Amino acid sequence: MIERLETKQRMSRIVKHNGTIYLCGQVCADATQGIKEQTATMLDKVEALLEQAGSDKEHMLSATIYIKDMKDFAEMNEVWDNWVPEGHAPARACVEASMARDALLVEISVVAAEK
């Protein structure tokens, strides 16, 4: 069975299927901030969605990070490394990409297992 949460015409924020949780892309709360702040608030949103879906960051399976400019890679990773629980890092890819809005510096898509 497929369960979709917060579904709109274009996408669902959360899709659950056979114990796997898929989150739609998440961006920061305030795009006027720098890369560290954008990354932190983006990850706060991921954490809240995982909790809503019955999971947590220790159950992440994979993460795909889209970064506007690789010059921000090290600063983004500082925030990421402090956020991911030790021993629970997911499979991860990070790619440089154009963003939907010019002010956005980073976006993430996450797949996790249910608790």
Domain residue extents for the chain? 2-113
The rounded percent of the chain whose pLDDT value lies above 90 is 100
Question: Sign of torsion, CA 59 93 49 84?
Answer: positive
Residue 93 in tokens: 């890819």
Fold of 2-113: 60s Ribosomal Protein L30; Chain: A; (3.30.1330)
pLDDT band per the 50, 70, 90 thresholds, residue 7: very high
Label residue 92 by pLDDT band (50, 70, 90): very high
pLDDT bin (cut points 50, 70, 90) of residue 96 is very high
pLDDT value for 8: 95
pLDDT confidence of residue 66: 98
Q: Where are the alpha helices (DSSP H) in 1-115?
A: 35-53, 73-83
22-45: average pLDDT: 97
d(CA 60, CA 113): 6
Q: What is the pTM of this model?
A: 0.95
